[in-house]
Amino acid sequence: MIYPMDDDLLEDIEEQEQIIRIEVEDEYNNVRIDKYLSTVMDDLSRSYLQKLITEEKVLVEGKAVKANFKVKGGQTIEIYLPEPKETEIVPENIPINIIYEDADIIVINKPKGLVVHPAPGHETGTLVNALLYHCRGQLSGINGVLRPGIVHRIDKDTTGVIVACKNDNAHRFIAEQLKVHSITRVYHAIVYNSFKEESGRVEASIGRHPKDRKKMAVNVRNGKYAATNYRVIENLGNYAYIECRLETGRTHQIRVHMASINHPVVGDTVYGPAKDPFKLEGQALHAGVLGFIHPTTRKYVEFQAPLPDYFNDLLMKLRLTVRG
């Protein structure tokens, strides 16, 4: 039997192909290829990508290049990924910020930079490695050996609330809620450009970018229905602090939707400007609230994660700039 999964995990599984083709956008002109690839393929480490380049598994217009090669807009890059190996995931004593835990679920406040589950170039140091250590292997097995306990995920550089399941019954119950989009997911973001309206809604299908399979795009032929509701908390000059409530859970949904209405998330060099004026470690996006029906009590539970320090610091900096 196949159980429903969050869309970002489904996209992950669909991605298991040997060749990835990317067309370089003009804004990345004269950027080193290893730096460029680590930006647009943030689930692979730069060291792993450099290894692929050295092994001539990265081709530009059909030719092998070196790591210091500078890309140009319009060039086609082919990345030949080895077949994924079903390796044993090692428990690691990595500190995790636990918001809540019981016999069925564990709710974590994920920090920036932590990859949720192992992938090529990130076999260790992930949330899964930490959970295996903390939970002594007591995690659901529905998503296989590389993703024990993982029923949904958030991007590496997105912070905030994520839930993992300790048994298959809990996994099935929460996965079903994800499938019907009944879970509460509220994010906070700092985006480019101020708003005239107080709130709004983006309703645009999301699918794989036609020229860059590591990116998503709106209104493409293979797109799936997606809806994001946003509320402006504070306009900050050329920026804005907003809250986003997800109706669906597509890969990179908030990042893609906000970029589509000319409000890309600050720090997101994939869907926004290639140069981040604040030199952040990825997008200023935080999963603040996660709510769902508990698999055992059958009562609604809701968990919150406070804004991380970097986010508060950026807000303070922007407020001071606006006030002069």
Q: Which pair of tokens denotes residue 304?
A: 């919150």
Write down the catalytic residue from 8, 34, 155, 212. 155
Q: What is the pLDDT of residues 107-119, one digit of tens each?
A: 999 999 999 988 7
Q: Mind spelling out the 3-state secondary structure of 16-28?
A: CCCEEEEECCHHH
CA torsion, ordered 60, 65, 66, 71, to nearest 10 deg: -30
Residue 239 has pLDDT above 70, yes or no: yes
User: In the predicted model, what is the mean pLDDT of residues 285-303?
Assistant: 98
Q: What is the torsional sign of CA 214, 276, 52, 54?
A: positive
* Number of neighbouring beta carbons within 10 Å of residue 63: 8
Q: Which pLDDT score is estimated for 84?
A: 57
Mean pLDDT to the nearest integer, 68-83: 87
Q: Nearest to residue 187, comparing CAs of 308, 279, 298?
A: 308
Would you tell me the crossing angle of helices 33-40 and 46-54 to the nearest 10 degrees? Answer: 130
Mean pLDDT of the chain, nearest integer: 88
Residue 16, pLDDT score: 43
Residues in CB range of 138: below 8 A, 6 or more apart: 166, 167
Q: For position 5, what pLDDT does the model report?
A: 45
pLDDT at 169: 94
Residue 245: its H or E element: strand 239-246
Q: Is 309 among the residues known to form the active site?
A: no
Set out the domains of the chain in order of their start, with CATH numbers: 18-80 (3.10.290.10), 97-323 (3.30.2350.10)
- Answer whether residue 44 shows pLDDT above 60: yes
Q: Both tokens of residue 71? A: 């890309």
Q: Given this model, what pLDDT does residue 100 score?
A: 97
pLDDT of residue 254: 98
